[in-house]
Amino acid sequence: MITQGKVRILKKTNKGENIPLGLVKSGEFLGEMAMLSGEKRSASAVAVTRVKAIVIEHADFVALLREQHRLRAAFPSRFPRCSPRGVIVCCV
């Protein structure tokens, strides 16, 4: 999650245009789907304001999922396909 600030999510079209998909604000998170699926990120994130966040590396996130069964239950179909190179942006 973002701990402070706002981040705009953009998707580039085949013509090279950036289409806004949404705005991520304090208390919300981004980057989890690419990390969990191992697939290339489907959008870009651009800070709209000054942003504070904590980056959690893939190995740390997987360890957290293994230790916290309630958290793992939120990702039942995704957990087995976690990417070894993924990164998630999250807060504590």
Per-residue pLDDT tens digits for 41-77: 778 999 999 999 988 887 787 788 788 888 777 765 5
Confidence (pTM): 0.65
Domain range 2-90, CATH architecture: Sandwich (2.60)
State how far Cα 10 lies from the chain centre. 14
pLDDT in tens, 9-46: 999 999 999 999 999 999 888 887 767 666 777 789 99
Instruction: At 34, list the tokens.
Output: 């690419």
How many angstroms separate the Cα of 53 from the Cα of each of 13, 39, 73, 81, 85? 28, 22, 24, 25, 19
